[in-house]
Every structure is written in structure tokens, then in C-alpha cells.
Chain A
Amino acid sequence: MIADHKWLWPLVAAVALLQSVAIAKIVYDRDALLKSGREITIDVVPVDPRDIFRGDYVILGYGLDPIDGKLIAPDLQETIRSNDPVFVTIRPGATPATWQVVKVTAAYPDTIEASDAVLKGRVTWVNAQQDENRKLSVRYGIENYFVPEGTGRDLEQAVRDGKVQAVVAVGGDGTAALKGLIVNGERRIDPPLL
């Protein structure tokens, strides 16, 4: 440890400041995305009937997975691998909160229909063989909903009963942020921090 060094206090301040700025930057970016992003609502479906509630967060499924391999863009068919970043274009189905995947592309698509939304995600798995049965799964970073300790079970039951919708803010670059949930028609959304 540095002791009796003329740079001691400037260095202490620099370290504390840089770490605080890093945290503030994440907060600022997220808040901006939640405020300015386009708001869409997606039906939440139970993902794993055994244990969707794990400790302090509930795992949310969106019924988009598994995605049909035919929806992968032609230029991506050969090269797509698990953990690759992809852009998934979704379109409202029977209800405004029921979405269907339209296509999976390597970059943000040039043209989309007005009702479409584009989500940036990462491939969790994809079948290697390119045949009729090819499927893939994508994570969008909005699959975990953190809840106060001990309150997860009620929410889990509501998810099983199909009474939960997710409110998602989608940024211009496809980044998705979970704003909150609609449980039994009641909006549960944390206000922006700043």
C-alpha cells in the first residue's frame, strides 16, 4: 500500500470517482432507454414448470422460442453459432401482446413494418444441421425479473395462470429493457431512478 505519498489522496479520489462514474453510466444509459424506448407489451409464458422461481428473481418466457430455423436470414444460415449476437424482428399476432418472430438477421434490418419491433439478442442454442426441423433459441436480456426476498411464489403462480405481461422498452438499436410487469391487469412499473 502507498503510504505518505503526495499522490495518495489524488489516487484515492481517482479510484473512487472512476468506479462511481462507471456505475452512474450504467444507470444513466438504462434510465434513458426506459424513458425514450418504444414501449411494447409481451405475454409472459411459464418456461420451466418445475422451478421458474429461483431465489430472488423469476424467469420469464415470451413464447418466441424456439424459433423456426427457416426464419434465419439466408446469409446467416451457414455461420450462425450459439452466443452470436442477432437481431430478431417480431410482429404482433392475434392480440397486441402476442408476438411472432418474422426473421432473424445479423444486423439491424433496413426496412421493417410500422407494427414490427426489433430485439437485439444472443443465440443460446441452434441446431447444427440445416434441415426442416432446425430450431434456435435467443435471449434478449429481459428474462429475469428481480423481486423482493420472499415474494416470488405469488408471481410464479400468476405466470402459470397466464395472467402476466411484460412491459419492455425497445431502443433504436434493438436493445431491450424490462420496464416492469402487468399482473392481472395491474401495471407494476418502477419509476425512472433519476
Chain B
Amino acid sequence: MWSYRKRLARDLAHWRSQGWVTADAEAQILKDVASGRGGVGLAPVLAIIAGVLMCFAVASFVAANWQDMPRLGRLGLLLGIIWASYVAAGALASRGAGAFSDAAVLVGSAAFGASIMLVSQMYHINGNPPDGVLLWWIGALLAGVALRSNPAVALAMILVCVWWGMAMNQRNGTFWPFLPAWAVVAAAFAWQRWWPGLHIAALALSVFVVVSGVDFGRGDSHAVVALVGLAACAAALLIERQVPALHDIAPAILGYGFAVAVAGLLGLQFLESPGHLLLIALAAFTLILCLAAIAYGLRAGHRGAVWLGYIGFSVEILALYTTTIGSILGTSLFFLSAAIIVAMLAYAAWRLADRQNQSGAPG
């Protein structure tokens, strides 16, 4: 928000100097932006944070295994918190306090999880810990969808990831049930049209693909990760051109796909042991991909792509620097060649921009 305001102020000054915007309009626009209208208010944020703290209080209550209260009393207390939270959520919603209501649903879902933990503890159950988390994420998703509460659905997505992590600890190979679970929760985000939730979903899926790359079918399979990432990038570019309805989500898909592709390429180069020629080819490809992301980001005004490109580029060259390509002299030669090529590209880009400016064509 802050950076947007600064950028807008700078652009407005330029537009005013060009005579496109009057000084009066500039002042009005800046005043409107400064009022923070449309942004996230402090009260909802604090309400959600209070809800999260309440969740931890309930979880710690269970962990203490406090014996001064009979077991039935402790279970009754937690069930009481579940009911009280949802009734409070309903009451707050009917008074129009949506954010507070969301926080109450979150507390209810957490109390549901705490009840599962308490029952496991009372009966000394430790059969299959992921089963408990499975029940919990289903309960949180149910609450989130039925009561249209975004934070509860976000909790469900986090729990799906915890479930996957616990299951991964128990077995070798990829835990495929993650994918249908992820798809259900992601669909809930889409149905609620909650943009930040889709980012959470994309992040979860990206982490799943990258981590699973280590043992897709029990071997290092970073090539699969890189291909999945590149396919996502290609799909994003296709969507951008061919599917106007989904135009808004294309840049985000591109960003996550690019990050996954670079992670896979880094794995191929530095976790598996390719021969020199393959290493050089992969490194060159990775650097070109990063440059392409930066070029795309600058042209499309997608700052995320620019930054991901810079980060990918930096990680790649630092990793290459610490690996020797044949000999240290070989590494040096690689960097020299790359520097010369990029310098030539910079010159070409500069000439191109110069010519466009002279001919008055749009940049």
C-alpha cells in the first residue's frame, strides 16, 4: 500500500508535468489514496489475531493434561467452546460484524482440533497421527464453507499441509492424497472468491511439487519438478493470450510456475550430479529463463516476476560460483561468457528502446 502510494505520487507528478492531469486532480487522487479506503482495516486484523491467540490458548490447555478437572468436564468444556464460538459467530454475523464473526469461526475450528487432541490423550490413542489431522482439516473446511469464513478455509489448507508432512514422515515416496485434498480446499477458496487464499493454495502446491521432487518414485526427480514448473509458465502465457476470463490469475500462475521451474533446475544441477556439458546447458537455460522472467515482468508491469527473476538469477550464479565447472578456470570462463552475452543483450535492448523513442512507437 505504502509503496503504491509513493509510486502513484511519482507518476502523478510526471503526468501533471505532461499536462495530462491538473494539479487539482492530482491533489484529489492523493487525498483519496491516503484515506486508505478499500484497504484492510485495523479492527478485522486485530480480531483475527485475537482469534489465533485464543486457538493457541485452547491447544495449550489440552497439552497441559490438567487433572484437577474430571475428564468429562474437560471434554464438555471444549465442546462448549465449539458451540459458543459458532453461536458467537452467528450473532456477530447477523449484526454485520463480518471480521469478528470470521475470528469466532476460526476459534470454533481450533477448538474442534483441540477436542480431537484431548480425546486422543484421554484414551492414549496414538494409532495413526495423520488420521486426527485429516478429521480436523475436514471439520475446518466444513465450517469455512458452510459459514463462508475465509480464515477457517485458510486453516484447513494449513492443516492439509501438516497432514501431508506427517504422512511423509511415515512413508517413503510421494503422498498422493495431498492432491485431491488440496484441490477441494483450493476450490473452496475459488468459490469464495478470496484472492489471498488462492495465493496460499498456489504456495502449498508449489512446495508440494518441489519437496516431492526429491522422491517421486523413490529417485531424485528434479526434472519432473522443472517440467511441471515450465508447463505452468506455458499455461499462464497461454491463458494470458487466449482466455480473457482468467486473465487476472495468469501473472500469479506464471510467478509460481517460474519459482517451481527454477527450484527443479537448481535441484538438477546441484543435488543430482550431472556431467559438465549437461551442467553448463542447464545453467545457461536457467539464466536465460531468469532473464526472460525479468524481461516479461518489465514489459507486463509484473513486479513479482521481475523480483523472482532477480532472485532466481542470484541464487543460480551463487550456486554456480561454489561449484566448479571442470576447473575453477572453467567456472571463470563460464561467467565471462555469460557476462559478455548479457552485456550484448543490454546493448541490444538499449538500442531498441532508443529507436522506439525516436520513432514515437509505444514502448
Partners in one complex: yes
Known: A1-B149, A16-B82, A148-B66. A141 touches B94 (CB 8 A): no
Q: Mark A1-27, 1 if CB is under 8 A from B, else 0.
A: 111110011011111101110110011
Name which residue of chain B comes closest to A31, CB basis: B123
> A23 CA to B111 CA in the complex, in Å?
11
> A177 CA to B135 CA in the complex, in Å?
20
> A57 CA to B112 CA in the complex, in Å?
22
Interface residue A82 (Cβ < 8 Å from any Cβ of B): yes
Quick check: A16 and B86 within 8 Å, CB to CB? yes
Known: A12-B90, A23-B116. A146 touches B83 (CB 8 A): no
Q: Which of A15, A27, A149 contacts B142 (CB 8 A)?
A: A15
Known: A1-B149, A149-B66, A193-B122. A12 touches B87 (CB 8 A): yes
Known: A19-B112, A20-B83, A83-B171. A149 touches B126 (CB 8 A): no
Nearest-CB distance from A117 to chain B (Å)? 17
> A24 CA to B141 CA in the complex, in Å?
19
> A19 CA to B109 CA in the complex, in Å?
9
Quick check: A141 and B64 within 8 Å, CB to CB? no
Chain A residues with CB below 8 A from B126, complex form: 139, 141-144
Quick check: B65 and A122 within 8 Å, CB to CB? no
Interface residue A76 (Cβ < 8 Å from any Cβ of B): no
Quick check: A8 and B79 within 8 Å, CB to CB? no
Interface residue B31 (Cβ < 8 Å from any Cβ of A): no
Chain B residues with CB below 8 A from A22, complex form: 112, 135, 139
Q: Mark B102-118, 1 if CB is under 8 A from A, else 0.
A: 10010010001001100
Nearest-CB distance from A25 to chain B (Å)? 10
A11, A12, A145: residue with the most chain B Cβ atoms closer than 10 Å: A12
Chain A residues with CB below 8 A from B361, complex form: none
Quick check: B82 and A1 within 8 Å, CB to CB? no
Q: Mark B86-104, 1 if CB is under 8 A from A, else 0.
A: 1101100110101101100
Interface residue A112 (Cβ < 8 Å from any Cβ of B): no
Chain B residues with CB below 8 A from A107, complex form: none
Known: A15-B146, A23-B116, A82-B171. A2 touches B93 (CB 8 A): yes
Interface residue B125 (Cβ < 8 Å from any Cβ of A): yes
> A63 CA to B121 CA in the complex, in Å?
23
Which of B67-75, B303-311, B312-320 forms contacts with chain A? B67-75
Interface residue A131 (Cβ < 8 Å from any Cβ of B): no
Known: A1-B147, A144-B124, A146-B65. A23 touches B93 (CB 8 A): no
How many A residues face the partner with a CB closer than 8 A? 42
Interface residue B226 (Cβ < 8 Å from any Cβ of A): no
Name which residue of chain A comes closest to B170, CB basis: A83
Q: Which of B83, B94, B148 contacts A4 (CB 8 A)?
A: B94
Quick check: A27 and B75 within 8 Å, CB to CB? yes
Interface residue B63 (Cβ < 8 Å from any Cβ of A): yes
Quick check: A19 and B82 within 8 Å, CB to CB? yes
Known: A16-B82, A16-B83, A141-B125. A3 touches B94 (CB 8 A): yes
Interface residue B39 (Cβ < 8 Å from any Cβ of A): no
Interface residue A91 (Cβ < 8 Å from any Cβ of B): no
In chain A, residues 124-146, which have Cβ atoms closer than 8 Å to a Cβ of chain B?
139, 141-146
> A7 CA to B171 CA in the complex, in Å?
43
Could you list 30 A-B pairs, sorted by A, with CB under 8 Å? A1-B102, A1-B105, A2-B147, A3-B93, A4-B94, A9-B90, A12-B147, A15-B86, A15-B142, A15-B146, A16-B83, A19-B108, A20-B79, A20-B82, A23-B116, A23-B119, A27-B75, A30-B119, A57-B124, A82-B170, A142-B124, A145-B124, A146-B65, A149-B64, A149-B65, A177-B124, A177-B125, A178-B123, A178-B124, A193-B72
A residues near B (Cβ < 8 Å) are 1-5, 8-9, 11-16, 18-20, 22-23, 26-27, 30, 34, 55-57, 82-83, 122, 139, 141-149, 177-178, 190, 193
Q: Which 3 A-B pairs have the closest CB atoms?
A: A141-B127, A12-B90, A178-B124
